[in-house]
Structure 1
Amino acid sequence: MMEHRLSLSQIVEGSPVASFVIDCNHVVTHWNLACETFTGKKAFEMIGTSNQWQAFYTSPRPVLADLMLDEALEKSVGLFYPGKVQLSSNVRGVFEAEDYFAHFGEHGRWIYFTATPIRDDCGKVVGAMETLQDVSQRHEVEAALQASQAFLAQIVDGSSVATFVIDRNHTVTHWNRACEALTGLAAKEVIGSKEQWRAFYPSERPVMADLIMNGAMAEDVDQFYHGKFRPSRLIEGVFEAEDFFSQFGPEGKWVFFTAAPLRDMDGCVVGAIETLQDMNERRLAEEALKASEARYRDLSMTDGMTGLFNSRHFYESVEKELERARRYGRPLSLLLMDIDNFKKVNDQYGHLEGDKVLQSLAMVIRGCLREMDSAYRYGGEEFIVVLPETRSEDAVNVAQRLRQRFADQIQRPAPEQILHCTVSIGVSQFIVGDDAKSLVKRADEGTYQAKHQGKNCVVWVDPS
């Protein structure tokens, strides 16, 4: 008996198949490692108890192994596993079943399980062993096959999805009306032939359905659809892609297409189905969205009155220029200007004319800048110009040119009335230790001095 138990333990524990054993009192005696992994229940939790049901059901009830000990076996099996259990055709006295266990894994599992009686030397049943195997994948394949067959049966001219089917010989068997409309190729021209490529390409080459029929892997598909395809996230063995077909319609079309294998009841690939969707409207919507986002981005960093950058964008940009100046030791200068007597312009001629003066200065600033320079409306009638790669003496020259051009501008606040406005400008140059605040502060001091020197002038502030 000890040898018998030792042998049974070795068989059960060494088996890669999830297995457990109960004795004649329905007490668990063996619960192997594979069963632990499969059910999530540890052996020490189960052995010595009659709680084997906890691994499979939410309330107490016999498992198939328990029923093997029942004298009214067939009646009990029919009661607890109606229509799910049958006698094994291979091993006498063994019952087998398939059932769905919703709490196994993330999405539940289909389990194939068998129960075998254990007899002593006299033939008396002294226990039972149950084995379990996950057959979820087989059920998934069968479900996919059934879905494919049902879908294929509905491929009729009334389908709104452009669809065609090829058989195992790559011969077209279906080409619906939607496919005719999208590709411009009539069904009668392609059904019964292997020329499906004619609808998509100028010369013979495999379409996605052909590659699926050939059992292509990702690297094979990549040869023909590099950078345009991806494996389906939903169905194994299915590929999807998006490409532009210039011969579709007068201006060509963007098409999203998928190809999936068609299998017989034995799981053998007997054909492939390809569906196609016109993605032009989505592409146009995406482009419109990108344009809208670009406009929003521009608005978020642009002053609506002058068209120059706003103060928020100034602080984002000047930090990058300061970092470059620090890292590479390159010169960097800044101009801060304030329109002279601007309040008087607003009070005397109104805010509308004041706005025109602001716009006039912005136009002058833009006309004086290089491509690398940038200009900002800092607030009210204050403007800032950032001049990378520019020393103070050159910055002063730029400021003088800008000041003079603005003074030469003719403003006409009223008929037959001419107004010349001026601007006071402070100039600062980056020195080691500067941040945005200190650089702006020195330029602001220059503007303040320019005002006190009579306005309409440029003052450079020596950092020393």
Structure 2
Amino acid sequence: MPEESENTLAIMTELNALRREAARLEDAERRCQKAEAALSALEERNRLLGDSAPLGIFTIDIHGGVTGINRKMLEMFSWPSVDDPTSMNLFHYQAMAASGIVADIRRCIAQQQPVISEQPYTDPQGTRIHFRYYLSPIPGRDGAVNGVMAMVEDCTDLKKTEEALRESEKRYRQLFQSAPIALIEWDVSHLKVYLEKLRASGVSDFREYLEQNPLQVHHCWSLIKTADYNQAFLELMGVAGRTGPRGAFIPTDATGFLKMAREIIIVAAAGNTTVEREETLVTTTGEPKIVLGKSLVVSGHEDTLSRVAIALVDISQRKRAEAALRESEQRFRAQAFRDGLTGLYNQRYLYQSLAEWIERAQSTDIPISLIFLDLDHFKRVVDTHGHLNGSRAIQQVAGTIRSCLQEPAFAVAYAGDEFVVVLPGLDRSQALQKASEIHSRLKNTVYVLNQGIEVRLQASFGIATFPQHATDLNGLIAAADHALFAVKEAGKDAVGQFQSR
């Protein structure tokens, strides 16, 4: 009979534990559903931002799967007729591969660097279109590239302008003056001659030479003369009427201007006259503008560089849209791993980050400790003062826990009044000290709720350490939870470590 009673007691204990686990899982499922709803709302706001952008935008993962695309991009490019474009793999889409952009995307991923690419595309009606792609790698949490964001601009008109410039001088001049793109034409022949003399005198590294002789930047720049400019250029620079520059440019910002001047002189010294680069110009009104500049030697003047045309496209709006998208994506990623009530990390982040820490610890022998803590008799606070005050108390407790931690340690709002603290690099004794510190500070803090209500709280703590108590993520969490349960069973309001049977 005693043996049967012991078996019955063991079964009842296990049954009660399973019931508690089931209740905890149900609560976790409700929180996950709430988090998913919040994520859906964020995704909808991101979609609206993307669809309102003036440029085509799409994002893909490293395998070519489309993870996002805005309406403008769908309009610009003849995508396949599918209900959900994000189900499509761009690397498998023949029209994109044929345009050459797939190779540039792969290069962006491999080099982990932004890529500017201009690729032609022939639409189903046979019209040839030129797209300019601004490819930016999307870093993951581990620093590795996990995708690419593309901003796509239809530059067909600019391309046609460049081709027309090479066709004939007459048509070039007509287009030059009437073009909506800011154009300025330089005479660089005197600078070319001077740089050749410097090279003949023994100067080989012009960057080093100009850094050591800053006055030479001013002299070299004075050798560039403006041959012509159009009205769009004056408007870009904020110049009224037709009073334009006589020298190479309008020096409106000393520091930025000299930096730009030095780079242009170095390019000219290298003999590379067909250059595309982004620059920040400050207009005569003091407004900074980001422009994409492309230089091209007018046909027939390659040897003397007496006529070099520079097209300047104001991309400030695109840059702002790009920055807003990056900020939105970063905010979206951050919010996806945060608990809405406390601001602490959530379970999603716990399982992802803890797995990474354990994998790292397996190769470095660095310990990782985990604290499970649960507020004692918290239901009394809610029953006495209401759910809103209960939530306020949870928020303040989260602040207490956070105040005791330093990175890389972090806290997680696990479920209801349960919290998890992850302590990378702390062994058993150090984790015990940290848990005792949190326990003491929490117990000695008076929490002020709405209407000036003051409450004191206490909690039970369970500690487990990798690899002494577990060899994987789930085992470590289970060990800490087991230690917490033991403290609860022994009377609560204490700190306990996992004890193997």
Which category of TM-score, normalised to the shorter sequence, fits these structures? 0.5 to 0.7
1:161 aligns with 2:181: yes
Tell me which residue corresponds to 1:375: 411
Tell me which residue corresponds to 2:314: 278
Any idea what SS the aligned residue of 2:443 has? helix
Shift of 1:344: 3.4
CA–CA distance in 2 between the matches of 1:355 and 1:188? 66
Tell me which residue corresponds to 1:176: 230
Please tell me whether the aligned partners of residues 182 and 248 of structure 1 are also in contact (alpha carbons under 8 angstroms): no
Cα separation, partners in 2 of 1:188 and 1:344, compared to 1, 3 Å: closer
Please tell me whether the aligned partners of residues 370 and 480 of structure 2 are also in contact (alpha carbons under 8 angstroms): yes
Tell me which residue corresponds to 2:171: 150
Tell me which residue corresponds to 1:445: 482
**What are the superposed Cα offsets for residues 350-404 of structure 1, whole Å, 9 maximum, x if unpaired?**
2211111211111111111122211111122211111122121221221122112
Please tell me whether the aligned partners of residues 446 and 461 of structure 1 are also in contact (alpha carbons under 8 angstroms): yes
Unaligned runs of 5+ in 2: 1-121, 129-161, 190-223
CA–CA distance in 2 between the matches of 1:168 and 1:420? 78
CA–CA distance in 2 between the matches of 1:436 and 1:390? 16
CA RMSD in angstroms, aligned pairs only: 3.8
Tell me which residue corresponds to 2:208: none
Amino acid at match of 2:315: M
Any idea what SS the aligned residue of 1:290 has? helix
Tell me which residue corresponds to 2:375: 339
5 Å-filtered alignment, 1:132-281, equals 145-146=166-167, 149-156=170-177, 159-166=179-186, 169=189, 172-183=226-237, 188=243, 190=245, 195-199=247-251, 201-202=257-258, 220-221=271-272, 238-246=274-282, 249-250=285-286, 252-263=288-299, 271-281=307-317
Any idea what SS the aligned residue of 2:176 has? coil
Tell me which residue corresponds to 1:430: 466
Picking from 491, 496, 499, the partner of 1:454 is 491
Amino acid at match of 1:306: T
CA–CA distance in 2 between the matches of 1:441 and 1:184? 67
Please tell me whether the aligned partners of residues 198 and 204 of structure 1 are also in contact (alpha carbons under 8 angstroms): no
**What are the superposed Cα offsets for residues 155-174 of structure 1, whole Å, 9 maximum, x if unpaired?**
33x64322112468575332
Shift of 1:283: 2.5
Picking from 387, 390, 393, the partner of 1:351 is 387
Q: TM-score with structure 1 length normalisation?
A: 0.57
Cα separation, partners in 2 of 1:151 and 1:197, compared to 1, 3 Å: same
CA–CA distance in 2 between the matches of 1:252 and 1:152? 29
CA–CA distance in 2 between the matches of 1:257 and 1:332? 52
Shift of 1:202: 4.6
Shift of 1:412: 4.5
CA–CA distance in 2 between the matches of 1:397 and 1:197? 66
Please tell me whether the aligned partners of residues 197 and 207 of structure 1 are also in contact (alpha carbons under 8 angstroms): no
Tell me which residue corresponds to 1:363: 399
Any idea what SS the aligned residue of 1:155 has? helix
1:419 aligns with 2:455: yes
Shift of 1:152: 2.7
CA–CA distance in 1 between the matches of 2:498 and 2:487? 11
Q: Please, which moves more after superposition, 363-372 or 428-437?
A: 428-437
Amino acid at match of 1:162: A
Shift of 1:448: 0.8
Shift of 1:260: 1.8
Any idea what SS the aligned residue of 2:369 has? strand
Shift of 1:265: 12
Please tell me whether the aligned partners of residues 182 and 231 of structure 2 are also in contact (alpha carbons under 8 angstroms): yes
Shift of 1:439: 0.6
Amino acid at match of 1:459: G
Please tell me whether the aligned partners of residues 197 and 206 of structure 1 are also in contact (alpha carbons under 8 angstroms): no
CA–CA distance in 1 between the matches of 2:466 and 2:261? 63
Please tell me whether the aligned partners of residues 176 and 183 of structure 2 are also in contact (alpha carbons under 8 angstroms): yes
Shift of 1:220: 4.0
Amino acid at match of 1:310: N
Any idea what SS the aligned residue of 1:287 has? helix
CA–CA distance in 1 between the matches of 2:302 and 2:482? 87
Amino acid at match of 2:233: C
5 Å-filtered alignment, 1:396-407, equals 396-407=432-443
**What are the superposed Cα offsets for residues 95-148 of structure 1, whole Å, 9 maximum, x if unpaired?**
xxxxxxx9xxx999xxxxxxxxxxxxxxxxxxxxxxxxxxxxxxxx98763377
Cα separation, partners in 2 of 1:251 and 1:271, compared to 1, 3 Å: closer
Please tell me whether the aligned partners of residues 197 and 203 of structure 1 are also in contact (alpha carbons under 8 angstroms): no
Please tell me whether the aligned partners of residues 263 and 270 of structure 1 are also in contact (alpha carbons under 8 angstroms): no
Cα separation, partners in 2 of 1:168 and 1:292, compared to 1, 3 Å: closer
Identity %: 26
Shift of 1:263: 1.9
Tell me which residue corresponds to 2:140: none
Any idea what SS the aligned residue of 1:154 has? helix
Bigger helix fraction: 2
Moved over 6 A (4+): 141-144, 265-270
Any idea what SS the aligned residue of 2:180 has? coil
Amino acid at match of 1:444: D
Cα separation, partners in 2 of 1:337 and 1:302, compared to 1, 3 Å: same
Cα separation, partners in 2 of 1:161 and 1:444, compared to 1, 3 Å: same
Unaligned runs of 5+ in 1: 1-101, 109-140, 222-236
CA–CA distance in 2 between the matches of 1:168 and 1:389? 61
Please tell me whether the aligned partners of residues 263 and 269 of structure 1 are also in contact (alpha carbons under 8 angstroms): no
Please tell me whether the aligned partners of residues 168 and 269 of structure 1 are also in contact (alpha carbons under 8 angstroms): yes
CA–CA distance in 1 between the matches of 2:301 and 2:344? 69
Shift of 1:430: 1.0
Q: Please, which moves more after superposition, 173-182 or 389-398?
A: 173-182
Amino acid at match of 1:295: R
Q: Say which one has the larger Rg.
A: 1
Please tell me whether the aligned partners of residues 335 and 399 of structure 1 are also in contact (alpha carbons under 8 angstroms): yes
Cα separation, partners in 2 of 1:248 and 1:278, compared to 1, 3 Å: farther
Tell me which residue corresponds to 2:158: none
CA–CA distance in 2 between the matches of 1:204 and 1:420? 63
Tell me which residue corresponds to 2:357: 321
